[in-house]
Amino acid sequence: MQPNLLILGGTSEATSLAEIIAKQAIKATLSYAGRVERIAPQPLPKRVGGFGGSDGLKTYLKTNHITHVIDATHPFAAQMSEHAFVACQALNIPLLRLTRPEWQKMPTDNWQHVADMNAAVSALAGDARRVMLAIGRMHLGQFIQHQQHFYLLRLVDKPETPPQFADYIAEISRGPFTVENDIALLQTHNIDMIVAKNAGGAGAFAKIAAARQLGIEVIMIDRPVLPKTEISHEPQQVLDWLKHNPALP
């Protein structure tokens, strides 16, 4: 039976994999939640929107005769990864998580590791700082309680309603970002603290490299724990994985 892949996307690795799969003319669909207005152009057919929980995903997998699932979602997309694990286990469909290693603190880095978003909020309880919140849009509301800071917000889309911060600037920009631009951004706004997820990969790393060069403090949010499944860090390795996991008749 010919493979028919579902790739859960939304990351640079998913984009790299899509190019590899398209070149091999393997049947595949690239899936997005539909979180932002514009999705990067892709060489594979796309589907956009939730599946309706793990049951909805199971129905999708069966209806579309999916033979393999590659979970190439962001390391913080924990719910999607959980649903993929549950659905693939129930249907005995091979699942591979394509992810990227965590960023590692260098001796000269000024990082404070925190366990999750709530702990990052608590870390901002002190005196007024100039903070870059480089965590996107979905969790901004949790920081509203700390009005003492100036905030530099980096968002993919222009917010529909103004964020409820007393003193902020919104930078509307989607990655991947460059170190040069992030250094300029941090210096322009005289930023002295960055809140970031330990996303790994290159697409969001620019601010971390910029903070390293400028000696800026980073509140680094550790990744959520994801279900144990086979993992690869290299899009190219997915082809070998497919060979070792042939599509069942």
Q: Which residues bind ligand NAP (CB under 6 A)?
A: 8-11, 31-33, 35, 50-53, 56-57, 73-74, 76-80, 83, 136, 197
Nearest CA to 11 out of 70, 84, 99 is that of 99
**E strand or H helix that includes residue 196:** strand 193-197
Q: Which of residues 125-154 bind ligand 3Y8 (CB under 6 A)?
A: 134-139, 154
Half-sphere exposure of 172 (CA within 13 A, CB side): 9
Residue sitting closest to ligand 3Y8 (CB): 136
Total of chain residues touching ligand 3Y8, rule CB under 6 A: 31
Query: Residue 142 — φ and ψ, nearest 5°?
Result: -70, -20
The yes or no reply on residue 198 touching ligand 3Y8 (CB under 6 A) is no
The yes or no reply on residue 174 touching ligand 3Y8 (CB under 6 A) is yes
CA distance 164 to 166: 7
Q: State in angstroms the smallest separation of the CB of 16 from ligand NAP.
A: 14
Q: Which of residues 30-69 bind ligand 3Y8 (CB under 6 A)?
A: 32-36, 39-40
| Three-state SS letters, 197-215 | ECCCCCCCCHHHHHHHHHC
Nearest CA to 15 out of 226, 175, 154 is that of 175
Return the number of the residue (157 or 234) whose C-beta is nearest ligand 3Y8: 157
Return the number of the residue (159 or 215) whose C-beta is nearest ligand 3Y8: 159
Return the number of the residue (31 or 54) whose C-beta is nearest ligand 3Y8: 31
Which of the listed partners (ligand NAP, ligand 3Y8, none) does 174 bind, with a CB threshold of 5 to 8 Å by partner kind? ligand 3Y8
Contacts of residue 246, defined as CB under 8 A and 6 or more positions apart, other chains included, come to: none
In the DSSP assignment, the letter for residue 39 is -
Which of the listed partners (ligand NAP, ligand 3Y8, none) does 83 bind, with a CB threshold of 5 to 8 Å by partner kind? ligand NAP
The yes or no reply on residue 85 touching ligand 3Y8 (CB under 6 A) is no
Q: Are 123 and 219 in contact, with CB atoms under 8 Å apart?
A: yes
Q: Are 131 and 150 in contact, with CB atoms under 8 Å apart?
A: yes
Q: State in angstroms the smallest separation of the CB of 244 from ligand 3Y8.
A: 26
